Structure 1
Amino acid sequence: MSDTGVTRVRLSGIGDEAAPGLDRQIEAVRRLGWDSVELRSVDGVPLADLSDAAFDRVVGGLADAGLGVSCVDSRIGNWARTVVSPFADDLTELDRLAERCDRLGTRCVRIMSYPNSGLPEADWEREVLSRIRRLAARAEDAGLVLVHENCAGWAATDPARMLRLLDAADSPALRLLFDVGNGIAYGYEAYDLLADIAPYVAHVHVKDGTGDTDAQFYSLPGDGNCRVADSLRLLFDRGYCGVVSIEPHINIRPHEGWSDPSGDYVDEFVAYGQRLEKLVSELGPAAGRA
């Protein structure tokens, strides 16, 4: 760490990696003493698809627990929606989430950049940039910030393409989400992206593990090959002071329809968060706990 001052970050976690139900998601982050949860699904239903009554219960439950929301994870441009999927689905989801983010008190929405589905490279690029430009403009009007994750899509693994997205959008409503562990499944070293994109990173996911594109074996942060400490150190040295959110992937991956049937995941989620706290403390910055 540089000696210019103490970097302050907030720790959070994607709640449905602890449990499907909101009560257990809340319990997991409260046991860690954290002040926010990252929302992707509740009871197996993506946030945008919850009924109004179910969403009202989410808002009320979080308020009663005194928890904020660090980010909501949309399906916009993700691995299940290719560049030829109906763009109207993404616009509808963004409009729905804009209303819900306002009630949740968050501005941050995770997106990706559309896997290809048979288009020539030039057409794929053209369509992705057009969609991202329109999404960013809509998000800016709604007071949201879209954070593009290095996961699936045209700009998933290439820092030059990530910067091209930002240039094309030309909007403060588009920034980057850096996931430390995504390189395992997609066949690249995530840390190698950071030197180019660090100034534009507005949200961080932490997972760790070993493996390759055929099989991944996830672990506690620091026990795998994803250079978690090196990545966080570089980000902190570049002045990052946003949210660092855990996505363990060890016992449950709701978006993939996979879970270990052996039992309760809240304890494992808490242990994962405690390991991240220790790692962050060793690097120097203080984890924010409002």
Structure 2
Amino acid sequence: MKLTTGLNPYGLTYYLGLQGSGTPRHNPDGVGLEGFIKLTEELGGKAIELWDGWLKDKSDGELAALKQRLDTLGWKRVVSSGLQHGDMDQLIRCAKALDAQYIRVAMTPILCGDRAAAGQKWHDLVASVHEKLQAAVPKLTAAGVVLLIENHQDFTSRELVNFCDEYGPSVRIVFDMANTFPVAESPLDFTRVIAPYVRHCHVKDYRAVIEPDGFRLVRCPSGDGCVPHKQMFDILAEHNDEMVACIEIGALDDRHVKLFTPEWWHGYAPKQAEDLAACLFAVQKNRFEVGEEWRTPWQRNADHELIDYELSQYRKSAANLKAQGLM
């Protein structure tokens, strides 16, 4: 499988000026799209995921100039947004202007697999996802663009496949390789289920903090945590001749998955004990030891550390992936 690897912006939110927007903790000197392109160049990336907030107000001429720049660099490109609030017509416009084959979307705001805590809102969100996908597919098909739905700590592997089967080849999967744990699936099991439908990967990683009610997932450089990227790409290669991938680091807040509490499981299909055991075994690799500091600088209110923290994690991720032949 030919793997083309680059960068995704969501682990650089403070550096780029996206974190804490409208609050006193916002970074007023964020480097934005230009700084993101420069970092992708520095790290030797050959693909880039572009947040739609950078694109939606650009004129046709400005988008054409950006396309020319990306063409000159020889980079693959993916447009990135959210299904609930993204403007599909605008996203397709940007994708077509940039010659981007894929539009990536997170489908709901639910995190940590915590659909039960959302109550009725979860069911309303699922209905909204179906409604929005049904409306989007004719537009996507006409434009020749594929919508990539992400496992954003909300849907299971089989639920994602069901969306793809229901809505056809204009809907496929962007695989966040670390987001299997929040829905109680091991990385390898999740990969085996979705592999034929994956078109783009977020090469992310976590280190876990084991808690009485489950575990916390804390960001770390890709390759330093519990996610077996190489084995997962080997499975994907059985079904794909090529793949676009982007380094992503997790959020500046941890993700607390409370799957040791009975109520967390409400809304999920029954699960085999062996499958849950595989998840719980895998998440312990490179975990934090008891008493070890796991909080990010954002959580410790050490904002002066954030830029170096984010950049060092991306640089270490690139080095790790290059050492594994994945970049």
Confirm or deny a common fold (TM above 0.5): yes
Counterparts of 1:16 and 1:140, CA distance in 2: 28
User: 1:16·1:39 contact (CA, 8 Å) conserved in 2?
Assistant: no
Q: 2:102 aligns with which of 108, 128, 138?
A: 108
Q: Which residue of 1 aligns with 2:78?
A: 71
Q: Which residue of 2 aligns with 1:85?
A: none
Q: Deviations along 1:101-130, whole A, 9 cap, x unmatched? A: 122120211123335764498776555333
State the shift of 1:57 in Å: 5.3
If you compute each CA radius of gyration, which structure gives the higher value, 1 or 2?
2
Q: Which residue of 2 aligns with 1:279?
A: 324
Structure with more of its chain in strand, by fraction: 1
Q: Which residue of 2 aligns with 1:60?
A: 65
Which one scores higher on RCO, CA 8 angstroms, separation ≥ 6? 1
Counterparts of 2:313 and 2:126, CA distance in 1: 40
Q: How does 1:1-290 map to 2 (within 5 A)?
A: 7-15=1-9, 17-18=11-12, 19-20=15-16, 21-40=32-51, 46-47=53-54, 49=56, 51-52=57-58, 60=65, 63-64=68-69, 66-67=72-73, 68-77=75-84, 89-90=85-86, 93-114=87-108, 115=110, 118-119=119-120, 125-153=126-154, 156-157=155-156, 159-170=157-168, 172-211=169-208, 215-249=216-250, 261-262=304-305, 263-264=307-308, 265-280=310-325, 287=327
User: 2:10·2:251 contact (CA, 8 Å) conserved in 1?
Assistant: no
User: 1:146·1:173 contact (CA, 8 Å) conserved in 2?
Assistant: yes
Listed as ranges, the gaps of 5+ residues in structure 1 are: 1-6, 78-88, 282-286
Q: Say if 1:113 and 1:266 are closer, same or farther in 2 by CA, change over 3 A.
A: closer
Where 2:131 maps in the other structure, the secondary structure is: helix
Where 1:239 maps in the other structure, the secondary structure is: coil
Counterparts of 1:40 and 1:186, CA distance in 2: 25
Counterparts of 2:121 and 2:40, CA distance in 1: 44
Where 1:192 maps in the other structure, the secondary structure is: helix
Aligned residue pair count: 249
Counterparts of 1:94 and 1:122, CA distance in 2: 22
Listed as ranges, the gaps of 5+ residues in structure 2 are: 17-31, 255-297
After TM superposition, the score normalised by the length of structure 1 is: 0.72
Counterparts of 1:266 and 1:61, CA distance in 2: 24
State the shift of 1:24 in Å: 1.7
State the shift of 1:47 in Å: 3.6
User: 1:16·1:25 contact (CA, 8 Å) conserved in 2?
Assistant: no
State the shift of 1:165 in Å: 0.7
Q: Say if 1:123 and 1:181 are closer, same or farther in 2 by CA, change over 3 A.
A: closer
**Percentage of pairs with the same residue:** 21
Counterparts of 1:61 and 1:146, CA distance in 2: 21
TM-align CA RMSD: 3.2
